[in-house]
Amino acid sequence: MDGYFRLMMFWRRYRIILITYSVFALLIFYAAWLEGPKTVYQRYGNKSEWIPGIVFGIFKVSVIYYILIYQIALPFVRLNNWKTLLFKLVCFFTALTLLEYIMEFRMGDPTIARRMNTSLQEFIIWEIAIACFMILFTIAIAVYIELTQKKARESELEKQKLSAELAAIRYQINPHFLFNSLSLIFTKSVKENMEVANAVALLSEVMRYALEPEEDGQGKATLSKEIEHMNNVIAMNQMRYNNALRIESLIDVDNYLARIPRLMLITLVENAFKHGDLNDSDNPLDIKLSLKQGGFKFYIGNRIKPGFKELSSGIGLDNIRHRLALLYGSNQSFDIRQDDRFFIAEIKIDL
């Protein structure tokens, strides 16, 4: 699924460049045609070379622009890393110039350079001038793309925030009633059955966190609160099944104040409780969470329940993928691996 998603993303981006440059190349050919046959033969060779030459030229230049815009310029605009930009540009244009030199001066068939009597010195000057233009042009395009995408992300986040606020308004009376009821039950049960009282207290804390308003406008929360909420839900489920669930968790964090998408972790954990077989000691629910030097990783794997499968819409997983893309763009990945026996999900974010 992730491979298909990346392929479709590549094709959408490349298609725009391909169509744009195709129109431009055909207009250039038409302009040469208006100047007369001599200009056409000089630029494109004889009639048998026109179509292959134009097709190859469109393919070559569109690929070059795709690499420059999406692999070099756009990462620079987002990260503002001059050293990496210069290194990539030098390597790319050195390889490109060498390829152009081989094609125009060393290959057996006549080339544009030979037809136009271009010297090696003129060729190098021409290549440098083209490279400077392409660098400035692609950086300008990358800036435009980033500003457009940033505006779209902010608009989408604003819509999600408004939707969450409307939902909170609809249910603001019910939580008060619920928490007051839970408080009453806790008070009544604490003298009679401490286990029940603890379960009520945990449930109250879980629901309070799930229903409390967001701390910021991007739907993020501190990692410490997300971990505490996840542990509370795990404890609730252990009480539900008399501590018979097989769960192994490993947490290694150097900054608990880092912020991640709110309720993201618990969506995956609850998915495991719903669809996983957590009674097998040989295949426990495996949870690994780490945050080292800004690199966040969350791994969860479980064996799938045999036999009847509960229906699942997949909305929760799609929501995670959508939120991560909006908040972090290309600085994140969400991979899912699943077969008939096991389900594995892994999130990586450069915070």
Give the tens place of pLDDT for each residue, 169-185: 555 545 555 666 666 66
CB 350 within 8 A of CB 294: yes
Q: What confidence tens digit (pLDDT) does each residue in 110-141 have?
A: 434 444 456 677 777 878 888 888 888 888 88
Q: What confidence tens digit (pLDDT) does each residue in 42-76 have?
A: 667 677 777 777 888 888 888 888 888 888 888 88
Per-residue CA distances from 180 to 74, 177, 208, 253 (Å):
52, 5, 11, 35
Q: Which residue has the higher pLDDT, 1 or 19?
A: 19
Residue 83 has, within 13 A of its CA and on its CB side, a CA count of: 0
Q: Which amino acid is at 337?
A: R
Percent of the chain clearing pLDDT 90 (strictly above): 19
Q: Which two tokens stand for residue 35?
A: 């100047």
**Among all chains, which residue has been given the structure tokens 């505490």?**
228
Low-confidence winner among 63-77, 207-221, 222-236 (lowest mean pLDDT)? 207-221
Model confidence band, residue 339 (pLDDT cutoffs 50, 70, 90): confident
Q: Which two tokens stand for residue 65?
A: 């622009």
Distance CA 33, CA 29 (A): 6
